[in-house]
Structure 1
Amino acid sequence: MIAIVDIGIGNLGAIKNMLRKVGAQAEITDSAEAIKAADKIVLPGVGAFDHGMGALAASGLMDTLNEQVLDAGKPVLGICLGAQMLGRRSAEGSLPGLGWIDMDIVRFPRDAGIKIPHMGWNTVAPTMPGGRVHPLFAGGEDAPRFYFVHSFHFECERPEDVTATCVYGKPFAAAVARGNIWGVQFHPEKSHRFGAALLRNFAEHA
């Protein structure tokens, strides 16, 4: 069972439907007990960073998530804002992030001649240092396309934590991972066959 964490933000129903479409059992929940009983966790989110971290704190699930992810090593996938919340801090707000991955969230430069937010389909290059491909992108197409909606992006301290990149004005990290902690800036639940393949990989290989 995959627990989709419900803190009042994110495309919860769409994520659940896509997971079920690829044969995975998923449950939307705000219950600590359900998260503890699950095999894997999805942390979705849309909107501003402080709103997301504030909602997570108000949910009372922070300790449960830290325990399950950091202590028990349960696989977790952060999506969009949920992935940004895996980092230490964001230029968008003042609240600290979860700090599970050594990264900060920074704004796309306003002087780069690009429209902000970055919205729509874009190609992702799932190549890690040494030419390896992260399990999240295993068996996929050479140039998968995903749907993005964001004004801020990951800035990782360690290059080895970047599992995929994208170009919008400049190259940026589109997906990150450290051990059992995975995050994607795009929306797999809105990305048709590319998103379905990615969520299937999370369900089967995380």
Structure 2
Amino acid sequence: MIAIADYGMGNRRSVEKALAHVGAESVITADVRDASAIILPGVGAFPEAMRNLERSGLREQLVERAAAGVPVLGICLGMQLLFESSSEHEGAEGLGILPGVVTKLESPRLPHIGWNLVSFSRASALTEGLGEAAAFYHVHSFACRPADASDVVGTGEYGERFVSVVERDNVMAAQFHPEKSSTDGLQMLKNFAALAAALVA
């Protein structure tokens, strides 16, 4: 059972439906303490999201579960929240699960909305079966800047080359919306579900 973290932000139902489409069971919940795998979705502003995670008790739970080796997948804003801080609006500290910061995407036109090719720089369980590159649906104005280049799995280009997929041990994330990214996005969710199932088998 995959827990979709519910802190009031993010298209949780779309993620739930996409998981069901690939044969994975999930539940939308604010209690992920017993989850065998977690998806952290997100749409909106980073500071508000962190306040909601704090209020719901999910901040502490997410950090603890990630440290315990539970597979975690961040989606869109959910990816950004995994890092140490963001400069969005008044700025805010993040979950600090991954080293690095989030700053404005260096592009003359923001937000970045639409399909964008993501090139994969290394092998990852998350991108298995997707080849060397695939197109995904992005909606964002900020980009993650990982402190460790080895965490980077895939990059896209929009004004600058930006990090679109990361993975460190059991923690992985995508800047785009796999649940809105047709066949390749569904393959990524299927890969995550298979990874989660293998770890609890």
TM over 0.5: yes
Q: Is contact 1:4-1:12 (8 Å) kept?
A: yes
- How much identity, in percent, do the aligned residues show? 43
- Give CA-to-partner distance per residue, 1:147-168, whole Å, 9 cap, x none: 0000000111111011111111
SS of aligned partner of 2:8 = coil
Report the residue type matching 2:145 in the other structure. Answer: E
Map of 2:81 onto structure 1: 85
Q: CA deviation at 1:3?
A: 0.2
* Aligned residue pair count: 195
SS of aligned partner of 1:37 = coil
Map of 2:23 onto structure 1: 23
Report the residue type matching 2:73 in the other structure. Answer: L
Map of 1:203 onto structure 2: 193
How much is the aligned-residue C-alpha RMSD, in angstroms? 1.2
Q: For residues 7-46 of structure 1, what are the structure 2 equivalents within 5 Å?
A: 7-30=7-30, 32=31, 35-46=32-43
Task: Tell me the TM-score normalised to structure 2 length.
Answer: 0.93
Structure 2 gaps of 5+ residues are: 197-201
Structure 1 gaps of 5+ residues are: none
Aligned pair partner of 1:183 in 155, 173, 180: 173
Map of 1:73 onto structure 2: 69
Q: Is contact 1:127-1:134 (8 Å) kept?
A: no
Map of 1:164 onto structure 2: 154
Task: Tell me the TM-score normalised to structure 1 length.
Answer: 0.91
Aligned pair partner of 1:98 in 95, 99, 102: 95
Q: For residues 124-163 of structure 1, what are the structure 2 equivalents within 5 Å?
A: 124-128=118-122, 133-163=123-153
Question: Which runs of 4 or more aligned residues in structure 1 lie more than 4 Å from their structure 2 counterparts after TM superposition?
Answer: none
SS of aligned partner of 2:132 = coil
Report the residue type matching 2:109 in the other structure. Answer: K
Q: CA deviation at 1:143?
A: 2.5
Q: CA deviation at 1:94?
A: 2.4
Distance 2:110 2:91 in 1: 21
Distance 1:107 1:119 in 2: 14
Map of 1:50 onto structure 2: 47
Report the residue type matching 2:4 in the other structure. Answer: I
- Give CA-to-partner distance per residue, 1:53-109, whole Å, 9 cap, x none: 011001012222222111x21010011111100001111042210101111001022
